[in-house]
Structure 1
Amino acid sequence: MSNMGARVARIFRNFNLENRAHREISKSKPRAAPRHPTESSVLQSDTADTITEDIHQKNNPLLSMLKDVYVESKDPVPQGEPVAVVKKVEQETERRLLKFSLPGDPYGICDITDVPKGKLSIVEALTALNNHKRMPKTWTPEKLAQEYSLDKKDAKALTEFFIPFDVKIIPPKLEETKRIKDS
C-alpha cells in the first residue's frame, strides 16, 4: 500500500516540472544591496582629517582633571569569615626539611630542600608507603603522621588508598595443564 502512495506522490511532485522550473528562472532577480563605503573613500573626506587632529591634540582641561584623581585600594574582608582566617592566610606556612631525597640530580627533584608541613615530596611518599608495606605494625598511619608532620586523617588515607610496588607474579604454565586441542 505504501508503494502505491509513493507512486502517486511522485506523479504529483513531477507534474509539469519543466514549466515550473522555467517560470522560476525567468522571474526578475532581486537587486543587490548597495556596497558599504570603503576605507579609501572615508580617508579622503575632510572629516577624517579633523578627527585625526582632534585625537593628537592635547586637551588641558582633561589632563588637569586626571591629575586630581587619586585611587586608594583595599581588599574587602570576606563576609561570613572571621578576620583571624584572613590573617592566618597572610602568614607564611611552616616548612620542614626533607627526610629523604634522591642521590644525584634526576629530573630536578634534588632542587627541593624543604616542603610545607602537611605535605610530602615524591621520594618521601614512596619511602613512607614502602615502609608501611614492609612493616605495617611498626609504620602505622599514626607514626607516619608524626614522622612527616601530616594529619592523621591524611596519613590513614595515604596508607589505605595508595598501594605502590604491588607486583603480582603469575606462575609459568605447566605441561600437565589441560588444553583444548584444535581439530
Structure 2
Amino acid sequence: MVSRIFRNFNLENRVHHEISKQRPQPAPHHQVNVPPEAEIGPEVPEVTDAIHKKNAPLLSLLKSVYVESKDPETESLKHAEQKEEERRPLRYRLPGGDPYGLVDITDVPKGKLSIVEALRALASHKRDPQTWTPEKIAREYSLNVKDMKAHLKFFIPFEVKIIPPKMDNVKQLKGS
C-alpha cells in the first residue's frame, strides 16, 4: 500500500512532462546515387536493341554447358516396378462366379496376400496353431515372418462372442 502511494505520487505531472518532451530527430536517409543509365526507360531504342541483340560469346558458353539431373522419385518407382515383377501364383480362389472381379486375379506380388489367402491363412492358424505357425505361413505365402506374426496377433477372423443375457431381475414389457 505504501509503495502504491509513492508510485502514484505526482503521476499527472510526470506524464505531462514526458509527453511535452521533444522527440529526437530521426537520422537522415542515405542518399543513393542512381546512375543516369538506370533512369533511361524502355522508350530509348539503343537500350531495347542492346537487350534483344544476340551475344555470340555468351551463346557459345551456354551451349558448352551440360546438365544431367536425376529425380529420386523416378528411381524409387523403378525399384517398385522391379519388385512387382516378382509374382507368385494364387494358392486359393473364390469358388464360382465373382461379381467383384476377384476371379480374374491369377497371381499376386511376392510379399502380399489376396483377401481369400489372408482369410484362409488366418483361419488355418486359428484351427491348428501348432501346425500352422507364423514361420510356415510366411514361407508358404512368401511373406515376412515379422509381418505374419503381427497379422496373426492383431487380425482375428470372424470371431463371434455371444454373451447370454442375465435372466435375474429382468423386467419385460407386457403387450396390451
TM category (shorter chain) comes to 0.5 to 0.7
Q: 2:164 and 2:156 mapped to 1: Cα distance? A: 22
Q: What per-residue deviation string (whole Å, max 9, x for no partner) do you get for residues 55-109 of structure 1?
A: 54432211111112234679xxxxxxxxxxxxxx699231123445673338xx8
Q: 1:32 and 1:165 mapped to 2: Cα distance? A: 80
Q: 1:57 and 1:101 mapped to 2: Cα distance? A: 72
Name the structure 2 match of 1:28: 22
Structure 2, gaps ≥5 residues long:
30-37, 71-78, 171-176
Letter in 2 for 1:104: P
- Report the CA distance between 1:19 and its aligned residue: 0.6
1:18 aligns with 2:8: no
Letter in 2 for 1:97: P
- Report the CA distance between 1:128 and its aligned residue: 1.8
Query: 1:171 aligns to what SS in structure 2?
Result: coil
1:144 corresponds to which of 122, 137, 140 = 137
- Report the CA distance between 1:171 and its aligned residue: 2.6
Query: Structure 1 residues 117 and 12 mapped into 2: Cα distance closer, same or farther (>3 Å)?
Result: same
1:132 aligns with 2:125: yes
1:116 corresponds to which of 86, 109, 115 = 109
Query: 1:92 aligns to what SS in structure 2?
Result: helix
Q: What aligned pairs does 1:1-183 form with structure 2 within 5 A after superposition?
A: 7-31=1-25, 46-47=39-40, 49=42, 53=48, 55-71=51-67, 92-93=82-83, 94-100=86-92, 103-105=98-100, 114-175=107-168
TM-score by length of 1: 0.56
- Report the CA distance between 1:144 and its aligned residue: 1.8
Larger helix proportion of the pair:
1
Percent of matched pairs sharing the same residue: 62
Calculate the aligned-residue CA RMSD, in Å.
4.1
Structure 1, gaps ≥5 residues long:
1-6, 36-44, 75-88, 178-183
Letter in 1 for 2:87: R
